[in-house]
Chains A and B, each alone.
Chain A
Amino acid sequence: MEAGVIISDLIEIKDMVFYRGERVIFNGLCMSVAENAVTSIIGPSGTGKTTLLRLIGGQLVPASGTVRVMGENVSKLSRAGLFELRKKMGLLFQSSALFTDLTVYENVAFSLRVHTDLSDSLIHNLVLMKLNSVGLRGARDLMPSQLSGGMARRIALARAIAMDPALIMYDEPFTGQDPIAMGVVVSLIRALNDALSMTSLLVSHDIYETMSISDKIYILSDGVAIASGSPEELQANQTEKVVQFLNGLPDGPVPFHYPADEFVNDILGATH
């Protein structure tokens, strides 16, 4: 152990299996997320990255295997215990999922109002600080329906970090951001992680940005992690699948297509 730094795992996933109907989404997934680090998950669309975040948040239950978050086995927790645990988590939804009946300001203030006894003036300061960090302090009085897609994502980001959670999960935070906002969000994620000693789990398709801020990256495909490591390690990895994915090549072992019949059969109407 170097200089008394204790690096422990905030999330531990072991042999986790999960089905959607008949379809297996995770087939014995193992991964761990170290405390205080930025860990990223990349992988083809539809492999189950969003599903994984919901499993960690306890909204879905694995068929077998365990998901441990902050030492707790998520699927064994009582309803009340689960809600207690979630107070320490933040999740930026892929769909933003802002509360449409509340203003931008009230959206960000929501969990502060529910979970804390802070005075209105303190909440006011906190909310404006969070909005300022995503560059949208001026949008506080707008309703979610008046926001652009990229703005809505940044508001959702501000809302997810409102409570300064110990664990923050971002589901594609970069989508719809212009280059400037993108740069801001990228450095914000890293800065929050370091300044507030959060643990961050990031799902993204933007390989370059992800590489630039991650301590560790997992590549998911076919229900398992096909590779993991620091950005440098992955770049040095010569496995066919990893090379294909990192370079965005359409042909290779990682399938681009959702499982289907041979295209020719489909076109010729050769149905079963």
Chain B
Amino acid sequence: MIRLLRILGQIALGRFAQIGRASIMWGSALNSLPKTSDARLFIDQIYVIGVKSLILIVMSAFSIGAVLALQFYTQLVRFGAEEAVGVGVAMVLLRELGPVVTALLFAGRAGSAITAEIGLMNATDQLSSMEMMGVDPLKRIVAPRLWAGFFCLPMLAIIFSAVGIWSSGLVGVDWLGIESVGFWAGMLDTVELWEDIGKGIVKTLVFALIVTWIAVFQGYDSEPTSEGISSATTRTVIFSSVAVLTLDFFLTLVMYGDF
């Protein structure tokens, strides 16, 4: 019993220490504004983190939009309300699925890659040798990735929602024959700039922060071995997913709740 408590205590302490180290890393990486000479590093990372995730985001958004249109249609057509498919899909995508699914896909695609890359740099002494050359890896390696992730994920989420809505239009209007004016006009009338789009973007900003932070930190703090890197990569995906899904619940509660 006491052994169990002690082990649990050690695990908890380990976690707290980890959160502490993660905060220090974050603070030291971002404590000075990026210099203009670092713009190039940031742009490179936007390409690696953002542009390279585009195909995955677009393909997923396309099929999710199409599926949503089909599901809404089969239910709503029974009440003769199939024109409301547009509104339904837009709401679901802008408020929930856009931010959440993009963040999950991003964690799997870009987050794990960031962790593995930084973890390997750490394991092969590249971070150490950079330090010894008087270049702070927190500024040179960590900071550009944090900024780029923070910038890219919201962009990707917007693209996700846009593509999803477009593909729901393809399925709903062009294939199932929903009245085009009703579908699009209904959507435009109901969707509100702040309530639906704005709050969705707030969510993605929070997710962007947490997912890139987890990914970068897991790489930076990984054991310098092959197992260390592989388990750090796994942790990135697991921690990010759990964090995103949990935070989504609370954000929804706080922003939309009227309970």
Is B133 located at the chain interface by the 8 A CB criterion?
A: yes
- A228 and B131 CA atoms in complex are apart in Å by 30
Is the pair A115, B129 in contact by a Cβ cutoff of 8 Å? no
- Cross-chain contact A89 with B124 (CB below 8 angstroms): no
Is the Cβ of B131 less than 8 Å from the Cβ of A59? Answer: yes
Is there contact, CB below 8 Å, between B125 and A93?
Answer: yes
- Residue of A86, A87, A95, A111 near B125 (CB, 8 A) is A95
> Interface residues of B toward A: which range?
10 to 19
Write out the residue numbers on chain B whose beta carbons fall within 8 Å of the beta carbon of A84: 134
Q: Which of A86-122 contact B (CB under 8 A)?
A: 86-87, 89-91, 93, 95, 97-100, 110-111, 114-115
Question: A57 at the A/B interface (Cβ < 8 Å)?
Answer: yes
Complex: A36 Cα to B121 Cα, angstroms: 33
A59 touches B134 (CB 8 A): no
| Bound-complex Cα distance A171 to B27 (A) | 33
Q: Determine the chain B residues whose CB is within 8 A of the CB of A98 once the complex forms.
A: 126
Contacting A91 at CB < 8 Å: which of B124, B126, B129?
A: B129
Residue of A nearest to B130 (CB): A99
Q: Does B128 contact A (CB under 8 A)?
A: yes
Asked if residues B135 and A59 are in contact (CB atoms below 8 Å), the reply is no
Tell me whether A256 is interfacial, beta carbon within 8 Å.
no
Query: Which A residues touch B133, using CB under 8 A?
Result: 86-87, 90, 110-111, 114, 163
Which residues, 99 to 156 on B, are CB-close (under 8 Å) to A? 120-121, 124-126, 128-136, 140
B63 within 8 A of A: no
The answer to the question of B180 belonging to the interface, with a C-beta cut-off of 8 Å to chain A, is no
> For residue B138, which residue of chain A has the nearest CB?
A79
Task: Please name all residues of chain A whose beta carbon is closer than 8 Å to the beta carbon of B190 when the two chains form the complex.
Answer: none
A97 touches B134 (CB 8 A): no
Complex formed: what's the CA distance from A242 to B120 in Å? Answer: 40
Q: How many residues of A contact B (CB 8 A)?
A: 23
Q: Would you call A83 an interface residue if the criterion is a C-beta within 8 Å of the partner chain's C-beta atoms?
A: yes
B131 touches A86 (CB 8 A): yes
Q: In the complex, which residues of chain B have a beta carbon less than 8 angstroms from the beta carbon of A163?
A: 133
- The reply on B28 being an interface residue by CB < 8 A is yes
B130 contacts across to A, CB distance below 8 A: 99
Expressed in whole angstroms, the Cα–Cα distance for A114 and B40 within the complex equals 13
A79 surroundings in chain B (CB, below 8 A)? 28, 136
The reply to whether B126 and A99 contact each other, CB–CB distance below 8 Å, is: yes
| A93-B129 contact in complex given A79-B28, A83-B136, C-beta closer than 8 Å | yes
Among A59, A97, A115, residue most surrounded by chain B Cβ atoms (within 10 Å): A97
| Contact partners of A100 in chain B: CB under 8 A | 120-121, 124, 126
Distance between Cα atoms of A115 and B124 in the complex (Å) = 23
C-alpha spacing A57/B129, complex, angstroms = 10
Residues of B contacting A57 with CB < 8 Å?
A: 131-132
- In the complex, are the beta carbons of B28 and A97 less than 8 A apart? no
Assess the B131–A97 pair: CB atoms within 8 A: no
Cβ–Cβ < 8 Å partners of B125 in chain A? 93, 95, 97
| Chain B residues with CB under 8 A of A99 | 126, 129-130
Contact among A89, A90, A97, A115 for B126, CB-based, below 8 A: A97
Asked if B124 contacts A87 (CB within 8 A), the reply is no
B132:A115 contact, CB within 8 angstroms: no
With most chain A CB atoms within 10 A of its CB, the pick from B124, B125, B134 is B134
Which residues of the partner chain A approach B129 to less than 8 Å between Cβ atoms? Answer: 91, 93, 97, 99
Q: Which residues in A have their C-beta under 8 angstroms from that of B126?
A: 97-100
8 Å CB interface, A112-140 against B: 114-115
Please report B residues at the A interface, Cβ cutoff 8 Å.
28, 120-121, 124-126, 128-136, 140
Known: A57-B132, A111-B134. 5 other contacts (CB 8 A): A57-B131, A59-B128, A90-B132, A90-B133, A95-B124
What 7 A-B pairs are tightest by C-beta distance, nearest first? Answer: A97-B125, A87-B134, A97-B129, A86-B134, A91-B132, A111-B133, A95-B125
20 A–B contacts from the bound complex (CB under 8 Å): A54-B128, A59-B128, A59-B132, A79-B28, A79-B136, A83-B131, A85-B134, A87-B133, A91-B129, A91-B132, A95-B124, A95-B125, A97-B124, A97-B125, A98-B126, A99-B126, A99-B130, A100-B121, A110-B135, A111-B133
